[in-house]
């Protein structure tokens, strides 16, 4: 041990000198004359006293340094043996203790010396806290220590270049957890012959095994359609550079029914296996919530997304909607009243879903309120119809009034969004313990947390479709009124663009149910009618659009009436033009700029707008941006489009 060595050296040196002085003193007594003997003896006694004081100081210094470091084992393991030059100084800068690395750097015999004289740059004020020793730049780290009425300084000199290399080397060897899951496996294999199921499984098993082998990883198949791959962090770069081409390879497999299997890949890269596993679980939840067919990488810095070029595979089973309906009923029975809130500037899908939930609450005789801030052109026609009925008119409350009325026993249902910051009144979440979320948009990284019930169905055409299924299973006593059925049908019609986008079997089944219970298609048509001014403004926006490589970008005039509605309608009109596969329309609305994106699905507008803080689906997406001009946003949008085209060049060629 260093402490024992120092104490031993100090003791042996002082003891030897003490013996010599004692002999000199005895010898002096034997000499004549007596005065000379007394003089020499006195000198010997003084010398002995000085060396005894040196011994006391030396032992005290070492003991204090060792006490500061508490335990000898900790001292040797973490300080004495470290490659970082470390020393303990007293208040005046004298070196009490140093480790071998510090001794090599400034000199072996530095104990007791003044550190500020050994290292003149130590006292120089420097914001970067750096100093150069022997052509090597060190970062000085000085930590004050108070121990037993004494003040000390712990000095460490860190070679950042060497430290960064060491950290990177350690990080490269950290374990990465990768979960792989076949999307909608049960739905894809339903009715498929066993021989074909085995063949499909074998093909996917082979591709996943090759993926793991390429990354020098270990693979475990823990269910019929789920895999775990573990590999070192340094190989994650290979998967990223290949943009997780396993997604494309699996998608090329085709079943006898003409279906192509897809994968959801979730990668967690943490500081230890446990954190990597937690990160991977969160990434998988997000990958599935975004429709599958993509890879999500989660590390300490955030999320990264790869793939997602395909449409989400439709789930035909209604088992989950039945389960959610029963759970929602149980929650409603326990609450005092129900408040329904959508996103900022609500549209027909948002308000239609709210009216569909009103029918559920009516069965349980629960007071129900729809939170609306200010009207907008998208829902103006429906609001006019609602205000003609006293019950609906009394149902509409402002966020300020809801704030006064709500209690901890209230239920807050959020529809058509899953992001708290995008709701009409985010402050209302703090007033209740029961929050329910119903949404169909692809899941983002900042979704509402703490919801008692989170019903998220990215395969659904609209939130109105999801609520229509809830109405069917909530209770046999649910009776939709004509306006409620028409509002739900209008929501589905708007989000599917007249049943032409993101429309599945369940979409038509929901529409059929609404038609049976009284939805009048002629009345719904009236809800979508535009005035002449809006029609001409839309034509002007389409006329002035800029088109590059099949993508159109247009800007609504600054003084446009109902700019957000105009942008959405213009984006729909642009993709109806031959040669245009995707469209984006920008519109200034107060302090922000809104972007409406549309496509036929070959170009994923959601992935493009997600980089700008937006979201949605592959065919319909939007974004709201503050603090930038229209010109800046337009330039950024073109840049993101070009990056998307370059990253998905092979997929786009196949289409």
Q: Are 63 and 88 in contact (CB under 8 A)?
A: no
Q: What is the pLDDT of residues 267-286, one digit of tens each?
A: 999 988 899 999 999 999 88
- Which contiguous run of DSSP H or E holds residue 136? strand 136-147
- Whether the per-residue pLDDT at 57 is higher than 80: the answer is no
pLDDT (0 to 100) of residue 77 = 46
pLDDT (0 to 100) of residue 147 = 67
pLDDT (0 to 100) of residue 97 = 83
Q: What is the pLDDT of residues 565-587, one digit of tens each?
A: 899 999 999 998 998 999 999 99
Q: What is the dihedral sign for C-alpha 137, 143, 144, 150? A: negative
Of 26 and 139, the one with more pLDDT: 139
With cut-offs at 50, 70 and 90, classify the pLDDT of residue 647: confident
pLDDT (0 to 100) of residue 199 = 94
- Whether the per-residue pLDDT at 205 is higher than 90: the answer is yes
**What mean pLDDT, rounded, does the chain reach?**
84
| Binding-site residue set for Mn(2+) | 343, 347, 349, 416, 440, 495
With cut-offs at 50, 70 and 90, classify the pLDDT of residue 178: very high
Q: Distances in Å between the alpha carbon of 189 and those of 200, 316, 379, 457?
A: 9, 13, 42, 21
pLDDT (0 to 100) of residue 7 = 44
Residue from 343, 308, 248, 294 nearest 605 by CA: 308
Residue 90 three-state SS: strand
Of 542 and 103, the one with more pLDDT: 542
Q: What is the pLDDT of residues 420-469, one digit of tens each?
A: 988 999 999 999 999 999 999 878 777 888 899 999 888 899 999 999 99
Q: What is the pLDDT of residues 379-436, one digit of tens each?
A: 989 999 999 999 999 999 999 999 999 999 999 999 999 989 889 999 999 999 999 9
pTM: 0.65
Two tokens at 445? 């990284």
Q: What is the pLDDT of residues 502-524, one digit of tens each?
A: 888 999 999 999 999 989 888 88
Average the pLDDT over 213-227 and give the result.
92
pLDDT (0 to 100) of residue 594 = 92
**Backbone conformation region of residue 561, classed left if phi is above 0, alpha if psi is from -120 to 50, else beta:** beta
Two tokens at 409? 């026993």
Task: Using DSSP bridges, classify how beta strands 218-221 and 226-232 pair: parallel, antiparallel or unpaired.
Answer: antiparallel
With cut-offs at 50, 70 and 90, classify the pLDDT of residue 71: very low
- Whether the per-residue pLDDT at 312 is higher than 60: the answer is no
Residue 190 three-state SS: coil
With cut-offs at 50, 70 and 90, classify the pLDDT of residue 74: very low
Q: Are 450 and 420 in contact (CB under 8 A)?
A: no
With cut-offs at 50, 70 and 90, classify the pLDDT of residue 613: confident
| Binding-site residue set | 343, 347, 349, 416, 440, 495
pLDDT (0 to 100) of residue 314 = 64
């Amino acid at each position: 041990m260093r402490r024992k060595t120092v104490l031993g050296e100090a003791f042996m040196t002082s003891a030897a000198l003490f013996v010599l002085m004692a002999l000199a003193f005895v010898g002096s007594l034997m000499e004549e004359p007596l005065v000379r003997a007394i003089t020499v003896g006195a000198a010997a006694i003084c010398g002995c006293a000085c060396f005894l004081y040196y011994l006391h100081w030396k032992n005290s210094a070492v003991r204090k340094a060792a006490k500061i470091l508490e335990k000898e084992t900790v001292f040797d393991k973490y300080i004495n043996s470290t490659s970082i030059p470390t020393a303990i100084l007293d208040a005046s800068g004298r070196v009490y203790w140093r480790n071998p690395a510090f001794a090599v750097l400034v000199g072996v015999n530095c104990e007791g010396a003044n550190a500020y004289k050994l290292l003149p740059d130590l006292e120089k004020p420097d914001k970067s806290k750096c100093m150069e020793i022997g052509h090597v730049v060190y970062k000085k780290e000085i930590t004050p220590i108070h121990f037993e009425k004494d003040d000390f300084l712990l000095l460490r000199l860190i070679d950042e270049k060497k430290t960064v290399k060491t950290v990177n080397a350690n990080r490269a060897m950290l374990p990465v957890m990768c979960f792989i899951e076949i999307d909608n496996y049960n739905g894809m294999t339903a009715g498929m012959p066993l021989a074909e199921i085995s063949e499909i499984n074998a093909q996917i098993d082979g591709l996943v095994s090759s993926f793991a082998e390429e990354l020098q990883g270990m693979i475990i198949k823990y269910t019929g359609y789920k895999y775990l791959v573990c590999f070192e962090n340094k190989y994650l770069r290979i998967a990223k550079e290949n943009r997780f081409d396993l997604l494309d390879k699996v998608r090329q497999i085709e079943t006898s029914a003409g279906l192509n299997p897809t994968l959801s890949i979730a990668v967690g890269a943490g500081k230890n296996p446990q954190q990597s596993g937690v990160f991977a679980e969160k990434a998988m939840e997000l990958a599935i919530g975004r429709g599958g067919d993509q890879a999500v990488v989660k590390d300490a810095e955030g999320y990264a997304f790869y793939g997602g070029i395909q449409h989400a595979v439709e789930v035909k089973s209604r088992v989950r909607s039945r389960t959610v309906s029963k759970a929602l009923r149980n929650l409603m029975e326990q609450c005092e009243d129900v408040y329904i809130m959508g996103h900022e500037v609500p549209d027909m899908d948002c308000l239609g879903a709210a009216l569909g939930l009103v029918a559920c609450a009516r069965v349980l005789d629960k007071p129900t309120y729809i939170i609306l801030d200010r009207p907008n052109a998208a829902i103006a026609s429906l609001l006019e119809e609602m205000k003609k009925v006293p019950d609906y008119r009394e149902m509409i409350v402002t966020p300020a009034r809801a704030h006064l009325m709500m209690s901890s026993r209230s239920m807050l249902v959020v529809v058509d969004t899953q992001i708290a910051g995008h709701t009409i009144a985010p402050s209302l979440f703090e007033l209740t313990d029961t929050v329910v979320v119903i949404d169909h948009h692809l899941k983002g990284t900042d979704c509402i947390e703490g919801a008692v019930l989170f019903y998220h169905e990215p395969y659904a055409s609209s939130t109105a479709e999801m609520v229509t299924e809830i109405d069917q299973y909530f209770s046999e006593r649910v009776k939709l009124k004509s306006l409620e059925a028409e509002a739900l049908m209008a929501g589905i019609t708007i989000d599917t663009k007249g049943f032409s986008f993101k429309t599945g079997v369940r979409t038509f089944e929901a529409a059929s149910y609404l038609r049976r219970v009284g939805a009048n298609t002629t009345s719904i048509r009236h809800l979508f009618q535009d005035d002449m001014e809006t029609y001409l403004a839309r034509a002007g926006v389409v006329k002035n659009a800029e088109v590059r490589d099949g993508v159109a970008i247009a800007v609504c005039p600054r003084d446009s009436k109902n700019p957000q509605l105009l942008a959405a309608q213009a984006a729909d009109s642009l993709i109806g033009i031959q040669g245009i596969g995707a469209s984006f329309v920008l519109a200034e609305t107060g302090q922000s700029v809104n972007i409406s994106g549309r496509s036929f699905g070959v170009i994923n507008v959601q992935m493009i707008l997600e980089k700008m803080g937006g979201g949605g689906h592959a065919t319909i997406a939007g974004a709201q941006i503050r603090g930038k001009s229209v010109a800046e946003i337009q330039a950024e949008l073109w840049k993101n489009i070009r990056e998307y085209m370059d990253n998905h060049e092979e997929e786009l060629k196949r289409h």
